[in-house]
Amino acid sequence: MDYSKINEQELAAELCCQFEDFKKTLNLTKAKIDPWVVCVAVTSWKKDLERYDAFHKSNKPDLCKQAAFMVYWLVKTKPIFAETPGANSKYIAINEIFAFAYVLNELKIEAGRISDDFFDRFVYSLYFRDTTAKQMFFQFELLDKLNKIAPAPAVII
Look at residue 1 and tell me whether its pLDDT is greater than 70.
Answer: no
Q: What is the mean pLDDT of residues 73-95?
A: 85
Exposure pattern of 87-108 as b/e (b: 16+ CB <10 Å)? Answer: eeeebebbbbbbbbbbbbebbe
**Predicted TM-score (pTM) of this structure:** 0.91
User: If you average pLDDT over every residue of the chain, what do you get?
Assistant: 91
Tell me the chain's radius of gyration from C-alpha atoms.
Answer: 15
Q: What is the pLDDT of residues 94-119, one digit of tens each?
A: 999 999 999 999 999 999 999 999 99
Q: Pick the most confident of 54-58, 131-135, 152-156.
A: 131-135
Inter-residue contact 112 to 154 (CB < 8 Å): no
User: CA-to-CA distance for 42 and 125, rounded, in angstroms?
Assistant: 22
Q: What is the mean pLDDT of residues 142-151?
A: 92
Q: What is the pLDDT of residues 25-44, one digit of tens each?
A: 999 988 999 999 999 999 99
Look at residue 153 and tell me whether its pLDDT is greater than 60.
Answer: yes
What pLDDT shows up at residue 6? 80
Running DSSP on this structure, what letter comes out for residue 20?
A: H
Q: Could you tell me the pLDDT band of residue 140, with boundaries at 50, 70 and 90?
A: very high
Q: Could you tell me the pLDDT band of residue 65, with boundaries at 50, 70 and 90?
A: very high
